[in-house]
Amino acid sequence: MPPTAPSSKPFKLYKSLLPRFLLLLIVSILLISCETVSYYSQAARGQAAIVLGREDIQNLLDSDELPQNLQEKFTLVLEVRQFAEQQLLLPVNDNYSNYVDLNREHVVWNVFAAPEFSVDPINWCFPIAGCVSYRGYFSESAAIQYAEKLKNDGYDVYTGGVDAYSTLGWFEDPLLSSVLTRPNHQLAALIFHELAHQLTYLPGDTRFNESFATAVEREGLRRWLQGSGEQQLMEMARLDSERQEQFVELIEIYQSKFEELFSQGTVESEMRRQKGSLQAELREEYQSLKQQWDGYAGYDNWFNQSLNNAQLSTVSSYNQLVPFFNDLLVQSGGDLQQFYAEVQRISELSEEDRVTLLPQI
């Protein structure tokens, strides 16, 4: 655990945050009919622990007591913040100016679920965020417990650790210890992605939100790396992007195969057998892909999981509309201000108009 600077949080910080916590508590109580109080309580406690555990990064740097690796990461983050604000026109404010040591591997664990014979994930609806295809827990054991309940109800279930998330401007998001092991270019990309959520967010539309943030992340990373002139980092980022695109393409191909299988109306026992065959086939295809990557094993842990419908559903929502947003950026002549304005305009359209405009995949 890194050394910490003496606490200097003023009382006005707590006073300014109190109305937000009270509002979240009131919303939780009002929604008792559709979600349990215990779930919202753990969410409020988890967020409160993060907010109250923040330490100012500049103060930590000025203390001269940090290990070299943390000094380098913190300095990098401050530079990335400046770039995001000045070059990418993202709403930085005080986001990522503070640090929180979580003393655990992930900040939250998300639970995903889907019917055994459907590629469409189950959605949960929450205040502010709208309806999303996951349910998050600040405790791994609580996530696993809920996942087991869904599994007992007959659903395909997948639980994955999450290293960072956006509070959509409700709180100033800090740098978390869970992301510090990432290479510099991946850490920069993460910050660009999460800040993009604060710029434009459409409640209940995961595909729109995540694809937009991914497009901003990639464009931001491209511009940041060009400015840095670090050829090695640029090559690493290029390989990461290329492999990610091939991974996503592979999963989307097999999602189509699963969808076709489930639409045939075959008896469940036979459908279950064919589903298992497709999962085995997908693993074999991944091994072939790894050979093209000279043995790169970055996706091994993911493919060591069940590859059920819930797990597969976690991939496409982050990427389906990225080509659409990339084209929109090109049409804007690379002008980010114009691009963001057009994205905001689309987000304010009626659902019917958006469905007509956006590609349906």
- Residues in a beta bridge with 98: 56
Q: Decide if 340 contacts 323 (C-beta within 8 A).
A: no
Count other Cβ atoms within 10 Å, centred on residue 154.
10
Annotate 223-255 with b (16+ C-beta within 10 A) or e (fewer). bbbeeeeeeebbebbeebeebbeebbebbbebb
Q: The whole model's pTM is what?
A: 0.86
pLDDT at site 187? 96
Residues, the chain, total? 361
Instruction: Say how many CA atoms lie within 13 Å of 291 toward its Cβ.
Output: 5
Among candidate residues 278, 275, 259, the one with its CA nearest the CA of residue 267: 275
- Give pLDDT tens digits along the chain (361 positions): 333 333 333 333 444 444 554 455 444 444 443 446 788 889 989 999 999 999 999 999 999 889 999 999 999 999 999 999 999 999 999 999 999 999 999 999 999 999 999 999 999 988 777 888 999 999 999 999 999 999 999 999 999 999 999 998 888 999 999 999 999 999 999 999 999 999 999 988 888 999 999 999 999 999 999 987 778 888 888 999 899 999 999 999 999 999 999 999 899 999 999 999 999 999 999 999 999 999 999 999 999 999 999 999 998 766 889 999 999 999 999 999 999 999 999 999 999 999 899 987 5
Close Cβ partners of 310 (under 8 Å, ≥ 6 residues apart):
112, 113, 114, 121, 155, 156, 157, 158
